[in-house]
Amino acid sequence: MINDRPTQLRVNLDALLNNYNKLNSLNNEKIGLAVVKADSYGLGSKVIAEHLYQNGVRHFATATLEEALELKDVIKDSMVLVLGVINSQNVKYAVENNVSLTCPSKEWLEESLVHLQQIEGKLKIHVKLDTGMGRIGTSDLEELKEIDNLLDSEKIDFEGIFSHYSNADGEDDNYDNYQTENFERSLKIFTHKPKYIHIENSAGTVKYSNRDDQYNLTRIGIAMYGCYPSGNIEKLDKVQLEPVASLVSKVTHVKKFQAGQKLGYGVSYEAKQDEYIATVPIGYADGLLRRAQGFKIRVGSEECEIVGRVCMDQLMVRCSKNVKVGDDVLFFGEYSGQKVSVDEFAEYQNTISYEIFCCINKRVPRVYYKNKMEL
């Protein structure tokens, strides 16, 4: 296949595995569940999950049943938990493929039991408790008692129970403590004890690594991909994460502009003096959005500002006369001796690293490497 554009999203599998191992070792009593939902935050779940599997990881999570089924051929006998709610009519696919599902309510469990009567095997479920996130799951204690009664069914394998911190990356522990108390209160309702109890996301994994509790699994997401959930978590200085993803390209055109000359859609930029403008083949159709205008990227060894509006397929930067066609361009990550923080790139656009990764369009090739060699 021809790929004439030099724009790439480069993924360092060594750094990814190192981050997972560092996070997993923060508390050796707990199992690190690798979150590979949303195509591993846009970085390519099939390659990433297979690499983790080949290096001993056996616990994964996706957002949808479709995502889970797409990965079963590369992670085989692993536990794969679907974190979202699936249509109860499709529980047979979970049973047939040994996929664990989230149980968000008594109604969902009752509906699933009806469909399970038509198939062989047990359905593995993780009951979701809403302790303060307000997204899915239940906090009603009476409903939880009814769910507990339904777990007596021979068609159910009660594998786990969990919740989700909504402010673990915040400045204090107040809301975390509130959620933990709710979680503990709800856990006492259940006469059945599951194999896994979990509430910690990436932020919680780092923040509460020394906590003595009954939880035995942590969900490792954005931190595995080299980003701290927030500056508050980074300040704890408990783990040194390695950058995993780098968005790169090359200069395709350079021209000299005269003072007063305008460029781009809406002629939103005017040269204040004689200067040079370089064009780079990446735009909002690739996931580099218009709000990145004004951010300073690395072109060769220079720091160059994105000027004019970001186009669908290209953008322009102000540079010196030393920039040439073919020079390397780095938007975030590490490449060719240069480094740009994805968090810095995200903060400039008033967003978070999660969104930056997920926005990179599929037409941008993912290039994987380990031991400094491309795969």
CA distance 289 to 283: 7
The candidate with the shortest Cα–Cα distance to 16, out of 231, 233, 245, is 245
Q: CA–CA separation, 373 vs 331, rounded Å?
A: 21
- What is the structure's pLDDT at 374? 83
Closest by CA to 318, choosing from 273, 281, 349, 363, is 273
Q: Are 274 and 256 in contact (CB under 8 A)?
A: yes
> What is the model's pLDDT at position 371?
81
* Residue 55 CB neighbours (<10 A): 12
Which one of 256, 262, 265, 324 is the catalytic residue? 265
3-class SS of residue 178: helix
Q: Does the annotation count 250 as an active-site position?
A: no
Annotated binding site: 135, 312
Strand partners, 127: 103, 161
Active-site pick, 22, 30, 37, 124? 37
The count of other CB atoms within 10 Å of the CB of residue 77 is 8
Edge to edge, the sheet with strand 123-128 lists 196-198, 156-162, 123-128, 100-103, 79-82, 59-62, 31-35, 217-220
Give me the pLDDT at residue 372, please: 78
Instruction: Detail the residues annotated as belonging to a binding site for substrate.
Output: 135, 312
Q: Do 301 and 338 form a contact (C-beta atoms < 8 A)?
A: yes
pLDDT of residue 1: 65
**Which residue stretches of 229-362 are H helix?**
231-235, 342-348, 353-359
Q: What is the 3-state secondary structure (H, E, C) of 5-55?
A: CCCEEEEEHHHHHHHHHHHHCCCCCCEEEEECHHHHHCCCHHHHHHHHHHC
Give yes or no for a contact between 99 and 68, defined as CB atoms under 8 angstroms apart.
yes
The strand pairing partners of 33, in sequence order, are 219
178 is catalytic: no
**Residues 136, 130: Cα–Cα separation, whole Å:** 6
> Do residues 253 and 279 make contact, with C-beta atoms less than 8 angstroms apart?
yes
- Residue numbers of the chain with a pLDDT score lower than 50: none
